[in-house]
Amino acid sequence: MAFKDLREFIDVLEKKGLLKRITVEVDAELEITEITDRVVKSGGPALLFENVKGYDIPVLINAFGSEERVRIALGVDSLDDIGRDLVRILQPTDLPVTFLDKLKALPRLAELSSFLPKTVRTGPCKEVIIRDKPSLAKFPVLKCWPEDAGRFITLPLVCTRDPETGHRNVGMYRLQVFDDRTTGMHWHIHKDGADHYRTAERKGQRLEVAVALGADPTVIYAATAPMPKGLDEFLLAGFIRKQPVELVKCETVDIEVPAHAEIVLEGYVDLGERRREGPFGDHTGYYSLADDYPVFHITCITHRRKPIYPTIVVGRPPMEDTYLGKVTERVFLPLIQMVLPEIVDMNFPLEGVFHNCVVVSIKKHFPGQSRKVMNALWGMGQMMFTKLIIVVDEDVNVQNMSEVWWRVFNNIDPRRDLVFADGPLDVLDHASPHAVFGSKMGIDATRKGPLDGHTREWPRDIVMDAATKALVNRKWSSYGF
């Protein structure tokens, strides 16, 4: 089902027993984080804190903190369904050659166009409009970890437009609250939002920005997705929910935001202005270092009556963002397979915090194929940040890291099977000697043969024969287990 807004999602979670309301008074500084951290790591429910000290606005957190809740949020029985559906539209089995073929392709194009975002005159996010001295002080923004530099908005949908092309970008970039009307804008150098800002600076103009909090869950996910530059995240959300996302024009900036958002912050980022932002307890499990970032100035705040403040706590995995990362893994696997059809499956282990490790299984047909796959992956969008790529054979379950490590520890000759390369790294990588650039490693843990330079016989896996397995299956209850 497609949720109209965040509230419908909350209602469904509650009816399914997947949400807990906390009515005892809690502090937005550290206490909510410690509660949430324990709940996430124990596999607990979404949390709605209804009595936050000093505020009359409830806090929603851990809404995406399990695979079940993520599947409910996106309206699918399996996360793999989304990627397969994307490929069905983007890569039809029969390429249109004749005029009749082109006519047959029209329904697919019409289906895709039906998911384009739709601008409406107004929406619930405009129920309250504050132009005169808008202030963040009314919102229960969390301070998550003891050494954080302050309070951080951690689940924002940051909307900008390219000043030259007009292309929209919706990204999730944390906002450190500096005071009632300004925040940091944590745009990493590689992100599309940062590219829009660089273009604005080059043109000598400020960049208009709108930040939505609490849209429907597909929009929240889409803001985290590594979309190719120029593709609309609202279109991806519409595709997932099978209904267009309704947008409304902001009051003081020329940007559209989700009409059913809980809270909208409007404003601008001035050219050349920087302010020290951080440190911040990040999804790597370490504090990201303080650095200078652009400053977001708020010119207007709109929100629903009795808004809900949605947020997320990141830190040492597993955390809530782990499950959003798994969505990206499953959604984008079929798209990667369009370029690399030999890939069978892919896993971003949670300990790799998205950009540090990826494991892929391949159908290996020729020597050097693992290296070909490694280099191709390093050349794909945000896969360029991956520090470690492990390649295994197609019969290896990449979702079982115990099996993966067994293959790695036994199948590699380090001199032959380790590949080193240099390239861009994620801004949050702290291990390289230089920021945003360093070394990467590939591990070829596939079976080797003479064409790989392995002249000895490769041993077979130990596997019980089928007849004995069937015999034991039939007699299992008689063994007394």
State how far the alpha carbon of 338 is from the alpha carbons of 2, 88, 231, 366, 461, in Å: 28, 11, 18, 19, 31
Decide: residue 229, CB within 10 A, 0-12 exposed, 13-18 middle, 19+ buried: exposed
**Catalytic residue, candidates 282, 345, 417, 444:** 282
Residue-by-residue DSSP string for 99-111: HHHHHHHHHHHHH
413 is catalytic: no
Neighbouring-strand partners of residue 208: 268
SS (H, E, C) 61-74: ECCCCCHHHHHHHH
Classify each residue of 106-145 as buried b or exposed e, where b means 16 or more C-beta atoms within 10 Å of its C-beta. eeeeeeeeebebeeeeebbbbeebeeeebebebbbbbbbb
Counting every residue written for the chain, the total comes to 481
Reading the block at residue 22, the tokens are: 């906390």
Place of tokens 């606005």: 57
Structure tokens at 429: 């990588």
| Three-state SS at 212 | strand
DSSP H/E element including 470: helix 466-475
- Cα separation, 55 vs 26, in Å, equals 10
* Cis before 294? omega within 30: no
Calpha distance 145→30 (Å, rounded): 6
As annotated, the active-site residues are 282
